[in-house]
């Protein structure tokens, strides 16, 4: 246990004891004046808003419908929290399997010492259809200002006993008190998956099956560089139905294995039932694919056909809404429909392919020890080539490569659905090879404190995908701004791009550049040789870290530069060659610099041996990045002779 973690835990215990001496929740509409006068969060002073309390109560009616009552109260400290007034509650509305009732919402203000309540007009509460299966109840609070308290409550009824609501104690806002009460009948057995580092302020149960668990003074989870989803890092309670107890043979088990989960999905009309649907005009496409000699040629061709033919509606979904044939005719669809088309065409062309359900990085990671389909939010095509090689295809992004796992799936699990072999296996999706980025600079330093030269940049893999997407989406001018990294002293011209559309080759770029060396004077020239290379500012400036770091892939960066010294100048100060590494050697950095025959040669090399780093190791990680960026930004000083 690190010192940082111990300190956080000790503070959490102290704050929890304090919280237990104050009211935790209150009845709807009843509020302490002190909460209306509250100016800041006691345990997170810079918060723009906080949750005063969030209370959930889950129980069952006589028909074993799940009843989920939720009551939440939010305090607004300043206008930066105005978006907290917009509420969106999503639910599974197909066949009225879930529905919301009893919604009440109001804004509470203190006006000249008097409590003023403005209720949300029911005419301003809207039900939005997300797709064929899901809906959202949407509304906004009126009269929101600094000091307001926003309060709402609702009931969510679910006809599916397997749809027990998960509970997140933690969110993007600090939470003074978060409580979940559950009452479960004896005949139902749910597995709990618990993730927390703070002690419970309340943890009690009774013989009737009621259990109350609460945490006080829960810190927010901020957006941090290279984090995955917030949900992955939150303190939480997840629930999975394992069995319904009955008498003798009446007992029934549910989704306690991935095989059961996969079998149910392949028997679903909106997933497994779509994979054999014929697409209009598919005969010509399949016939052309069959003329190709290798599977790789077929895969690349059919993947490109679907990417070019279909427009993604920007919805991740593992099912088909109206059928893949209708989506094909409309030329637009969700992720599930588009990638089912890829599966269908590849299989018709003789390629061994299976659908795979996945959860994107932004949606959160699936726990392999927690078999259920609810956490997955999308579908891709999966091609196992051999024991060491496989392809994962997602045709929703036109810049994805057929031979590279999509970046938004890296370091996540996917469930491959092989119905023919009755095989349903969880597969970890990772890229084990370093993704390289090379920069070659050849430049001349001028006596008037300017640099001019040429550069060649080579991007592989994900770096190529990102660069090509930026170039084609934003245009050349904005792409040049991206290369300049907001350095207004640099001008880039004559940029040439090669092999943008060849999946098997890296992206090659050549360009001319000119750089004004600001800060120089009549006697000295100052310049940083890290030109067009690594960013000038570390993304890890914060001293503390609450979430794990997940780059997705291993980074490999090399810059080789040659800078000709102007006549009449000599080197006054030259950075020293150096190398350093993380304590476990997971990242190494080398700087090699020397002068020879009037030219300064420099080489920077960054090599990461892994892509994920735990928050507990952040002190070492932060110190490494701090020192590395100090060396990346160290200047060379030339003095007039």
Considering the segment(s) 435-640 as one domain, its CATH architecture is Sandwich (2.60)
> 439 vs 486, 504, 548, 636, CA distance in Å?
18, 20, 29, 19
Q: Tell me the per-residue pLDDT of 472-494, one tens digit each, with 9 for 90 and over.
A: 999 999 999 999 988 889 999 99
pLDDT at 254: 66
Please determine, for residue 10, whether its predicted confidence score (pLDDT) is greater than 70: no
pLDDT at 509: 97
The length of the chain, given as a count of residues: 641
If one compares 14 and 235, the residue with the highest pLDDT of the two is: 235
* 477 DSSP β-pair partners: none
**How far is the C-alpha of 228 from the C-alpha of 152, rounded, in Å?**
29
Apex 377 CA angle, 371 and 379, nearest 5: 95
Please determine, for residue 606, whether its predicted confidence score (pLDDT) is greater than 80: yes
Cβ count near 311 (within 10 Å) = 13
532 torsion bin: left (phi>0), alpha (psi -120 to 50), beta (else): left
pLDDT band at 146 (very low <50, low <70, confident <90, very high): very high
* 549 DSSP β-pair partners: 613
Cβ atoms of 502 and 534 within 8 Å: the answer is no
Tokens, residue 91:
């639910």
pLDDT at 494: 96
**How far is the C-alpha of 91 from the C-alpha of 70, rounded, in Å?**
14
pLDDT band at 136 (very low <50, low <70, confident <90, very high): very high
**How far is the C-alpha of 184 from the C-alpha of 211, rounded, in Å?**
9
**How far is the C-alpha of 634 from the C-alpha of 562, rounded, in Å?**
16
Stretch 388-400: mean pLDDT: 94
pLDDT at 487: 87
pLDDT more than 70, % of the chain: 95
What is the residue-averaged pLDDT of the chain?
92
Cβ atoms of 639 and 572 within 8 Å: the answer is yes
3-state secondary structure at position 640: strand
Stretch 408-435: mean pLDDT: 94
pLDDT at 248: 52
pTM of the model: 0.85
pLDDT at 11: 42
pLDDT at 107: 98
pLDDT band at 250 (very low <50, low <70, confident <90, very high): low
pLDDT band at 240 (very low <50, low <70, confident <90, very high): confident
Cβ atoms of 363 and 229 within 8 Å: the answer is yes
Q: Which of 12-16, 274-278, 322-326, 449-453 has the lowest mean pLDDT?
A: 12-16
pLDDT at 327: 95
Stretch 459-470: mean pLDDT: 95
pLDDT band at 255 (very low <50, low <70, confident <90, very high): low
Q: Which helix (H) or strand (E) holds 183?
A: strand 175-183
- Sketch the domain layout of the chain as residue ranges: 3-244, 258-429, 435-640
3-244 CATH fold = Immunoglobulin-like (2.60.40)
Q: Which of 80-84, 246-250, 344-348 has the lowest mean pLDDT?
A: 246-250
pLDDT band at 599 (very low <50, low <70, confident <90, very high): very high
pLDDT more than 90, % of the chain: 82
Secondary structure (H, E, C), 551-611: CCCCEEEEEEEEEECCCCEEEEECCCCEEEECCCCCEEEEEEEEEECCEEEEEEEEEECCC
Stretch 396-414: mean pLDDT: 95
pLDDT at 2: 43
Q: Tell me the per-residue pLDDT of 105-118, one tens digit each, with 9 for 90 and over.
A: 999 999 998 999 99
Place of tokens 């969510």: 156
Please determine, for residue 21, whether its predicted confidence score (pLDDT) is greater than 60: no
Q: Which of 119-123, 247-251, 387-391, 491-495 has the lowest mean pLDDT?
A: 247-251
pLDDT at 321: 81
Q: Tell me the per-residue pLDDT of 165-219, one tens digit each, with 9 for 90 and over.
A: 999 999 999 999 999 999 999 999 998 889 999 999 999 999 889 999 999 999 9
Gyration radius from the chain CA atoms: 29
**Long-range contacts of the stretch 387-390 (C-beta < 8 A, 24+):** 390/427
3-state secondary structure at position 2: coil
Please determine, for residue 249, whether its predicted confidence score (pLDDT) is greater than 70: no
Stretch 365-382: mean pLDDT: 91
Please determine, for residue 7, whether its predicted confidence score (pLDDT) is greater than 70: no
Is-same-fold flag (258-429; 435-640)?
Answer: no
Q: Tell me the per-residue pLDDT of 83-107, one tens digit each, with 9 for 90 and over.
A: 999 999 999 998 899 999 999 999 9
pLDDT band at 331 (very low <50, low <70, confident <90, very high): very high
pLDDT at 1: 42
pLDDT at 206: 92
Stretch 67-89: mean pLDDT: 97
pLDDT band at 120 (very low <50, low <70, confident <90, very high): very high
* 271 φ/ψ angles, rounded to the nearest 5 degrees: -130, -80
* 258-429: CATH number: 3.10.620.30
């Amino acid at each position: 246990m690190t010192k940082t973690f111990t300190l956080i835990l000790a503070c959490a215990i102290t704050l929890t004891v304090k919280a237990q001496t104050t009211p935790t929740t209150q009845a709807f509409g009843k509020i302490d004046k002190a909460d209306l006068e509250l100016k800041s969060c006691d345990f997170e002073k810079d918060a723009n808003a906080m949750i005063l309390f969030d209370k959930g109560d889950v129980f069952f009616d006589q028909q074993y419908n799940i009843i989920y009552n939720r009551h939440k109260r939010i305090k607004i400290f300043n206008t930066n929290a105005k978006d907290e007034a917009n509420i969106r509650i999503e639910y599974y509305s197909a066949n009225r399997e879930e529905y919301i009732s009893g919604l009440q919402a109001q804004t509470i203000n203190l006006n000249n010492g008097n409590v003023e309540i403005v209720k949300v007009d029911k005419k301003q509460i809207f039900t939005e259809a997300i797709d064929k299966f899901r809906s959202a109840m949407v509304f906004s609070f009126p009269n929101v200002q600094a000091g307001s308290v926003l309060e709402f409550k609702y009931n969510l009824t679910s006809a599916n006993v397997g749809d027990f609501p998960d509970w997140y104690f933690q969110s993007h806002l600090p939470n003074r008190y978060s409580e979940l009460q559950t009452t479960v009948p004896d005949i139902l057995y749910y597995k709990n998956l618990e993730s927390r580092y703070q002690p419970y302020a309340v943890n009690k149960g009774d013989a009737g099956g009621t259990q109350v668990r609460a945490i006080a003074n829960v810190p927010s989870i901020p957006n941090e560089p290279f984090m995955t989803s917030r949900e992955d890092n939150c303190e939480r309670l997840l629930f999975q139905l394992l069995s319904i107890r009955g008498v003798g043979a009446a007992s029934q088990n549910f989704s306690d294995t991935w095989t059961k989960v996969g079998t149910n999905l392949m028997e679903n009309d909106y997933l497994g039932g779509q994979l054999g649907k014929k697409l209009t005009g598919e005969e010509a496409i399949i016939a052309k694919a069959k003329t190709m000699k290798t599977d790789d040629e077929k895969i690349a061709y059919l993947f490109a056909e679907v990417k070019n033919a279909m427009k993604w509606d920007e919805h991740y979904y593992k099912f088909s809404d109206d059928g893949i044939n209708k989506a094909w005719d409309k030329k637009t669809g969700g992720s599930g429909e588009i990638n089912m088309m890829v599966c269908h065409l590849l299989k018709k062309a003789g390629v061994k392919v299976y659908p795979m359900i996945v959860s994107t990085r932004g949606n959160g990671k699936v726990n392999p020890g927690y078999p259920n389909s609810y956490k997955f939010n999308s579908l891709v095509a999966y091609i196992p080539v051999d024991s060491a090689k496989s392809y994962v295809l997602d045709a929703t992004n036109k810049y994805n490569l057929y031979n590279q796992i999509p970046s938004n799936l890296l370091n996540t699990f996917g469930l491959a659905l092989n119905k023919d072999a009755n095989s349903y296996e969880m597969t970890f999706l990772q890229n084990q090879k370093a993704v390289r980025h090379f920069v070659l600079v050849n430049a001349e330093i001028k006596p008037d404190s300017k640099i001019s030269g040429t550069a060649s940049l080579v991007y592989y893999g994900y770096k190529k995908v990102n660069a090509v997407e930026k170039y084609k989406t934003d245009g050349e001018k904005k792409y040049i701004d991206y290369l300049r990294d907001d350095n207004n002293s640099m001008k880039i011209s004559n940029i040439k791009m090669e092999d943008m559309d060849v999946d098997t080759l890296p992206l090659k770029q050549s360009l001319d550049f000119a750089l004004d060396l600001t800060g120089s004077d009549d006697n000295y020239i100052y310049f940083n040789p890290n030109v067009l290379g690594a960013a000038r500012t570390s993304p890890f400036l914060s001293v503390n870290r609450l979430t794990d770091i997940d780059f997705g892939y291993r980074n490999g960066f090399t810059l080789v530069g040659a800078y000709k010294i102007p006549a009449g100048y000599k080197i006054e100060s030259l950075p020293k060659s150096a190398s350093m590494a993380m304590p476990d050697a997971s990242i190494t950095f080398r700087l090699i610099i020397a002068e020879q025959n009037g030219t300064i040669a420099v080489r920077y090399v960054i090599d990461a041996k892994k892509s994920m780093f735990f928050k507990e190791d952040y002190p070492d990680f932060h110190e490494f990045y701090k020192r590395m960026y100090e060396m990346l930004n160290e200047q060379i000083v030339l003095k007039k002779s």
